[in-house]
Chains A and B, each alone.
Chain A
Amino acid sequence: MSKAFAPTAAKPGVITANDLREGHNLWMCEDGWTADPAQATLFEDEAIADLALLKAVGQSHLVVGPYIVEARRGPNGPEPTHFREAFRQRGPSNYFHGIQTLKQPTQQTEARNV
């Protein structure tokens, strides 16, 4: 668990982690965790985000290394503000691998309610 970023209404954030069994990137959403970053919950309040992060840490049987990171509100959902997160949301630039290959952008992992 790392908490380097405190979201506010002006600088909101999302919670992201990796799937414990598979390793791929996940974002916390309303129903649990999603592999589609556009479906991620956008946190605008530090206290609420902290609570959600604590819950994420409590789900260590599902996810690894959850953290809050800055995001901005985009037309289709949260968007990354830093290139590192942009790469995590897309996949590597040398092959068409990773998140970018997901055919159904709204695909969610099985019920993993927070």
Chain B
Amino acid sequence: MFDVRPVETDYVRHRAAQFRAQVDRRLDGSLTEDEFRPLRLMNGVYLQLHAYMLRVAIPYGTISPDQMRMLAHLAETYDKGYGHWTTRQNIQFNWPRLVDIPDMLDKLASVGMHAIQTSGNTIRNVTTDAFAGAAADEWMDPRPYAELLRSWSTDHAEFQFLPRKFKIAISGAQRDRALVAAHDIGLRLIQKDGRTGFEVWVGGGLGRTPMLGKVIRDFLPEADLLAYIEAIIATYNLSGRRDNKYKARIKITVHERGLEVFKAEVEEEFANRRRDFHGADREALAIFRDRFAAPAFRNAATDGFEAERVKNGAFRSWTDTNLHPHKIEGYASVIVTFKTHGETPGDASADQMRLLADLADRYGHADLRVSHDQNVVLPHVHKSDLPAVYAALQKAGLAVANAGLTSDIIACPGMDYCTLATARSIPIAQDIATHFKEAGLEDEIGKLNIRISGCINACGHHHLGHIGILGLDRAGVENYQITLGGDGYDIPAIGERAGAGFPAEEVVPAIDRLLRAYLDLRADASERFIDAYRRLGPAPFKAALYPEPAHA
């Protein structure tokens, strides 16, 4: 049954102290590694290819400037001066020492942060639209509900040992930017007959068996959110497969049992569970709504912004690509891409984190978001402040005008860090970004989502890329499969494999052929790669990837 923790910071501190004692017991030999592993995983501590890794939760990607400064402090003090934004709106530190992690968790707790449920077969970080509370096309801020789900799911006793990990995404805008269809549960805030509720999706996910979710409820009154979600997960907890790790996600449960059977079980469970919710969740939601109240937006002229656009071509270009429409006139959301050509996608230095914190304090109503595409968003910036924000970002190498373009690549850490990986992702992303910049084609190509994963677990969302790249180990050599036609947004789709994989050194030439073919094939410059692919089908694009060998 749901209850609101009155002083959650105390709980987080308590958990950090608990973990310190667990680490002590591991080091003094009281705990074996087999006993310790589940305990460290419950606190986001993995052992990766070269070192431990600590994954810190950034609930629904929302982070305050002070919290961002703490991440910078941790990066400098305990890591190698940087952190890595993940595709689930979290941050990973790649080099902490086990003996330092208790101190890191204490410091995180001091700013209300933690690493709880960033691993393990539990309900993971609830994710949402990076522009939540700001987007022009949003009709309701989903974050109070995201916070309700986070609060409810944290340490939920029944759901600590699910068959497999469990991911929930929630969206409140017309355009789904939270990848609702690709989550175990996806929620879209909707209105029906004047009532607020959710379209509830279930059974989506990527990984080795990619599936788009199915609508299990086309309208769930918002007051029933927790009871219904609890019913879904309780049903899955009992009927999900525990005999085979690769068939343990809810997508397989729904697929094997059939949506109607699964739904009937959920509805029965819902009817029972609903009686246990006596209003504490409603009270909590009211508190969370206050917490996420819109900031005091100001009304000011935007002449300076327009004038700067006229006189500064680089600024104009950046504002063309890296701004997102805001619901308040005179405002914009700024996308700060961590995709500088040739750099590692999603890596942020401590100095860059501090700069973002300062900019958020000074120009951004003290609000920052980590986006699932490994960028950072300043959701609320008045346009008159954009020249100053741009100048500061430019000085730090963060004013690259590439949001949504070829080089704005999602890439998992791959075999440069991840112990599960079968090939590297980062060098492929670096090479693609650098190549198309040097070829001068990035602006001409326009909007394009390239997604790279270093194994079939698909942390790099390759299935959802217009162009997806999957790194595999083929007889001891890195090899890359290309998928085409995936989309996480407007028309959710799983990309289709184009053909045989390419050795690492042939990936960039293959993508080059593909995109040059697209430029020849598109109806006009406004037709994106994905639109041209949908209009023409895969054949001409496959032909570009796999040209007929010339006959002598």
Contacts and interface: CB of A to CB of B under 8 A. Distances in A.
B415 interface: yes
B417 interface: yes
B27 interface: yes
A23 B52 CA distance: 5
A94 B96 CA distance: 18
A23 B33 contact: no
A20 B477 CA distance: 30
B372 interface: no
B27 A93 contact: no
Contacts of B26: 20
Interface of A: 18, 20-25, 60-61, 64-65, 81-84, 87-88, 91-95, 97-99
A65 B415 contact: no
Contacts of A61: 27-29
A21 B424 CA distance: 27
Interface stretch (B9-17, B43-51, B200-208, B233-241): B43-51
18 contacts: A18-B51, A20-B27, A20-B98, A21-B27, A23-B50, A61-B29, A64-B47, A65-B33, A83-B477, A91-B50, A92-B416, A92-B417, A93-B416, A93-B424, A93-B426, A94-B344, A94-B426, A97-B95
Contacts of B28: 61
A88 B33 contact: no
A81 B49 CA distance: 16
B156 interface: no
Contact of A94 (B29, B95, B430, B473): B430
A84 B415 contact: yes
Given A23-B52, A61-B29, A87-B416, 14 more contacts: A22-B97, A22-B99, A23-B51, A60-B33, A61-B27, A61-B28, A84-B49, A92-B417, A92-B426, A93-B416, A94-B344, A94-B416, A94-B427, A97-B80
Nearest to B342: A94
Nearest to B343: A94
Nearest to B421: A84
Given A23-B52, A94-B426, A18 B97 contact: no
Contacts of A21: 27, 97-99
B52 to A, nearest CB: 4
Contacts of B97: 21-23
Contacts of B385: none
Nearest to B50: A98
Contacts of A60: 29, 32-33
Contacts of A87: 49, 415-416, 424
Most chain A beta carbons < 10 A, residue from B49, B97, B476: B49
Interface SS, A side: loop
A23 B96 contact: yes
A95 to B, nearest CB: 7
Contacts of A84: 49, 415, 473
Nearest to A65: B47
Contacts of B344: 94-95
A83 B503 CA distance: 13
Contacts of B27: 20-21, 61
B478 interface: yes
Contacts of B33: 60, 64-65
A95 B47 contact: no
Contacts of A98: 50-51
Nearest to A63: B33
A58 to B, nearest CB: 11
Interface in B1-59: 26-29, 32-33, 47, 49-52
Contact of B50 (A24, A64, A65, A83): A24
Nearest to A91: B50
Interface in B473-524: 473, 476-478
Contacts of B96: 23
A24 B51 contact: yes
Contacts of A97: 50, 80, 95
A1 to B, nearest CB: 9
Interface string B63-99: 0000000000000000010000000000000011111
Contacts of B52: 23
Contacts of A65: 33, 47
B50 A99 contact: yes
A28 to B, nearest CB: 17
Interface in B417-444: 417, 424, 426-427, 430
A100 to B, nearest CB: 10
B80 A23 contact: no
B98 A88 contact: no
B416 A18 contact: no
Contacts of A22: 51, 97-99
B502 to A, nearest CB: 16
Given A20-B98, A61-B29, A83 B47 contact: no
A83 B416 contact: no
Contacts of B51: 18, 22-24, 98
Most chain B beta carbons < 10 A, residue from A20, A25, A91: A20
B353 to A, nearest CB: 17
